[in-house]
Chain A
Amino acid sequence: MVTTLPQTPDLVVVGAGVAGGLVAKQAAEAGLRVTILCDGPTLDRADLVDRFRQADPQSLMSPYPVVPHAPQPQVNRTGDYLIQKGPDPYDQQYIRAVGGTTWHWGAATWRYIPNDMKLRTLYGVGRDWPIDYDEIEPWYYEAEVELGVAGPENAPFDAPRSKPYPMPEAPFSYLDQVFHDKLTALGYDVIHAPQCRNNQQVYDGRPPCCGNANCMPICPIGAQYSGNMSVEKAQAAGAELITNAVAHHLEVGPDKRITAVRYLKPDGSEFRLKAQTFALAANGIEGPKIMLMSKQEHAPDGVGNSSDMVGRNLMDHPGTMSKFDSKDPLWPGRGPNILSGIVNLRDGPWRERMAARKLMPDNKTHVHEVTVEAIEEGLTGAELREAIRHRAARRQIVFSFNEQLPDPSNRIVPSSEGLTDALGLPRPEIHYRIDDYVHRAAEDTRRRVEEMAVAFGATRDSVWHNDGYLPNNHITGATIMGDNPNDSVVNRDCRTHDHPNLWIASSSTFPSVSSVNVTLTIAALAIRMGEAIAAEARP
C-alpha cells in the first residue's frame, strides 16, 4: 500500500549532499516550499570522530554507520553492493546520509579550465559541453563563496576568474614547499590547491583549520565544508527534510511531467510525494539507477531515457600512485591532507592522444605503513624506532588523476540478474573499461615521477607504482548534458530533455571529467539550478 503525503511542495529534492543541499537552499531562500528526501540518517560530527578513533581498522568509511536500508560501497569491499561486471573495477565509494559524500572528502575545489569543456572541438576526442566556461564562471564564484574556498591568485593552469578567491591560499607545508622548489626547477608548475577549508580565519561560522590532518575521513572541527552545512541552511530557510526515505520511482504523467516521487522507509512501507518540480541529486550512480528503475507507461525505457543515454558514459579519474623515499626528511602529515597540485599536464596538444592529468604530493602521514614494514623486516628496539622515524619523514607519494573519455558502453544499470538490497531494490551493476587514452597517460606519469624522484635523491628503480588504477570517486557522465536530445539526457540547464519539470544536479551531467576534482563544478551548476527553478516558479 502506498501512502500519499498531504503536502505538495513547489520543489522536491532527492538527495541531501552538496548538490541537493545547494539546490534546496537556493530555492528555499527564494521563497519556494521545498522538501528534501534523504535515504540515510543525519550524522553528528562528534560521534563520527569517536567512531573513527575507535575503529579497527581505520578506513575512509570507518566513521560512518552502516545503514542497512541504504547500503554504501565499503572501502576494499565495494563489490558487496556494486556489482562489478568489469573488465575493470569501478570501485567508487559514497556516503548515504544527510551531507552525503563530502563528509569525507579532500575539499579540493578546482574549476575546470575553458579547454576542459571543448575537448571535441580542440582535440577531436570526447564531447564538448553545450555551455562554455564564460557561462559558468559567475556560478563558480558563487560556489566558492558558498563553500568557502581558499586559493591562489593568478596561478598557472588555474582557471580565469572575475573575482579573487573568498580566502587567500592556504600555506604550503614544508613538504609542499620542497616539492614546489624541486619540481619548478624541472619545469613543472606546482600551485596551491584551491580548497574549501578555512585558512587561518573564521568563515561562515566555521573555525580555522588547525591541521588535524584528518580531512579524509572526518574533519573533527568542521573547518572544511561538507554538504550537511548547505542542507542545514536550506532547513533554516524553511525546507523540510525527510530522512531514511529511499527514493526508488519517479511517476510520469501523460504530459511527460513528473507527478510524484515514491520512497521506501526502512520497514518497507511506501510513500508518495507530489510536487511541481523535482531535482534529482542522489549522486552519479543512485540517480541514474532511480531513473532506469522508473519504467512505466509514459516512460517505457525509464525516466529521461528516450535517448538510451541514462546510465551510460560513466567516467571517473582512474588514478595512479607512485611511491619513493626522499633523501631528506620532508615529514608528510603536517597540516591538511592535500595542499598543492602539479598542474601543467592539465592541458596541451597531446590531449588528442592521451589523458590530461593533475598530480598531487600526498601530505598524509605514512607512519602506519612504514611501521609495519620495519617490524616485518625484523627490526626491534632503538633500531626499530629510528627506522620508523627515518622512513616516516621520507616516504613520499604522488597521486595522479587521469581524464577519462565518455564511452557509452561504460554504464550503470539496475542489476540485470535480480540482485537486490535489503529493501528489495536492485543493486547497481557496473560495466566499465579503462582505455588506451588513459593507459598512455599513466605510463607517461610513471616515467615522469621516476625523473622527479631522482631530484629528491631517490633512484629511478626504487620508485614503486600501483598496479591498475585507483578509484577517485568522481562519478561522472551517466546523465550526460547536451543540446541534442537524441544523444544526451539533460540540456544545457541540466533539465531533462524528456520531462520539463525534472532537473538533475550531479556530476552525472558532465560531458567531460577533466583532470580535476568535480565537486566545485557540481556546486556551481546546483546553485545555478536552484536560481533557475526559483525564477521559473515566480509568477
Chain B
Amino acid sequence: MSDIKIRIKNLSKIFGARPESVLKYVEQGMDKEQLLEKHQHILGLHDINLALENKNIEVIMGLSGSGKSTLIRHINRLIEPTAGSIEVDGEDVLKMNSKQLRHFRQSKTAMVFQKFALMPHHTVIDNAGFGLKMQGKDKAFIDEHARKWLDRVGLTGFENHYPAQLSGGMQQRVGLARALACDADILMMDEAFSALDPLIRSDMQDLLLELQQELHKTIVFITHDLDEALKIGDRIAILNGGRLVQHGSPQEILLNPADDYVERFVADVNRTQVLLAKSIMVDEKPQDQTQSVTCQEDETVHTVLHTLLSEDGSYVVVEDSEGRKVGYIDKETLADTVFQSEQKSAA
C-alpha cells in the first residue's frame, strides 16, 4: 500500500476571540452562517480528516472562503488549530517547539503563494536562494543551486532583476524556483497559478507536471479551478464551508459525487476528457464481436471513442501497461457515457 506523508486528524479551526468556547456548537452541527450570526466567530475548518499520500499531487478544492488556505497553512503551522492534530512523516507538528518548527519549515516544507510573496528588495537570484539562506547554507552553495533552479524554470538571464521588473508568470517561476531549491519533500502551493492568465497558467501546469516526473515530491495543490485539479491531481479533496465533503481520485469524484455541492462542482467538466477506459470497462466480452480495437486502460474515454470510430471497430479490448487484457467496452456503453456526459454539462 502507498504510504501516508501528511495525516490530518479531527482538525478544526475557528477564528474569533474565544474559539474554544464555541467549538461545542460546531460539534453539535451548527454551520458557518449560524456561528457567525449567533456567536460572532468564523468557522474556518471543522473536523477535517485527511491522509495525503507520499509523492502524490494532492489537490484541495472548494469555493472561495471554504477554508483551503486555512487548511494548507496548518500543515506547516502558519496557523494554530483550535482542535485536532497534524502529523508529517509520523511526527506531530503541533508538539514541535519554535526551534524544531523552524527547522521543519526549512527542511520539510516549501511553499508557493498565490500573490507570489517574493521579497521586493531582493534580486531574482537572492529570492530563489531565500530558502537555502534560511537553511544556513553557504554562499557558494546558495548561488549554485539558485542558479540551477532558475534555469530549470526558464529564467536564466534574469538573475539580477528585481521582482517588480518581471511579469506575473515570471514572478511565479521565481516563487517556484525558491520553493524547489529548498529540496523539501513537501511542496505546498496555495492557488499558485490562479493569478496568471490562462495560457501562462497552462504552461506552468505543464512545467509542474514535468518537474514532478523526476522530483516525486508530495505536492499539496490548492485551486478553485476544476479543470486544473483534474489535469494535475492524483487525488482531489473537496471542501465546503470548512468541512471536507469528498476525497478521492478524479475518476471517483466524477463518477460518484458525494453530494449536490460536488455534483455542481463537476457539472461543467467534459467527462470524456477525464474518465478513463478502466473506469467504464466491464469483465464480460460483449455480444457483438465483429471487429475489435485495443486501447490502454489509462486512455481517456475521448481517446477510446476516437480510436473506435477511426478504426471502425465494434468493441474495445482494454489492456494494461504490460499488454494484458483487463476488460472490455462495448459500443453502447461508450455511447452512453458520452451522451450522459453531454447531458450533465448541458444541465
Partners in one complex: no
Could you tell me which B residues sit within 8 Å of A by CB distance? none
Question: Could you list which residues of chain A lie within 8 angstroms of chain B, going by C-beta atoms?
Answer: none
